[in-house]
């Protein structure tokens, strides 16, 4: 199984809503990532989890709150988002502690904030 599964595929939320994005992998990877991708732009790193601990936060606003409940799951909790936060949110995973390793990506959640 070389899949990273993200749910939901699409999400529309209001600026006062609270929602969560979910990501799951069963490849035994102990590093997981959240990326944000705007249209016609490259993915931009948001958060890195290594061995279920947050290791990198790329100065992401606090309205985005990541959580790694176990080695297979990664969540991104959303609250009080702005329309400019509308984007494709990608989850990825890789072997932790290795510098020369492939990161596997999910299909993303297309988020629209209204």
Partner 1 sequence: GESVGLHLPTLSVQEGDNSIINCAYSNSASDYFIWYKQESGKGPQFIIDIRSNMDKRQGQRVTVLLNKTVKHLSLQIAATQPGDSAVYFCAENTGAGSYQLTFGKGTKLSVIP
Contact residues: partner 1, CB under 8 A: 4, 6, 31, 33, 40-45, 48, 50, 55-56, 90, 92, 94, 96, 98-108, 110
State the minimum distance, in angstroms, from the CB of residue 41 to partner 1. 7
Residue with tokens 């984007």: 87
**Cβ distance to partner 1 smaller for residue 33 or 64:** 33
- Cα separation, 90 vs 106, in Å, equals 6
**Cβ distance to partner 1 smaller for residue 31 or 78:** 31
Report CA Rg, the chain. Answer: 13
34 and 90 Cβ atoms separated by less than 8 Å: yes
């Amino acid at each position: 199984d070389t899949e990273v599964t993200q749910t939901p595929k699409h999400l529309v939320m209001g600026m006062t809503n609270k929602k969560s994005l979910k990501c799951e992998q069963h490849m035994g990877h102990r590093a997981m990532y959240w990326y944000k991708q705007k249209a016609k732009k490259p993915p931009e790193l948001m958060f890195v989890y290594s061995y279920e601990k947050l290791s990198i936060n790329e100065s992401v606003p606090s309205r985005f709150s990541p959580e790694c409940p176990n080695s297979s799951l990664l969540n991104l909790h959303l609250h009080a988002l702005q329309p400019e936060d509308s984007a494709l949110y990608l989850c990825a995973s890789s072997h932790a502690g290795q510098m020369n390793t492939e990161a596997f990506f999910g299909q993303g959640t297309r988020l629209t904030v209204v």
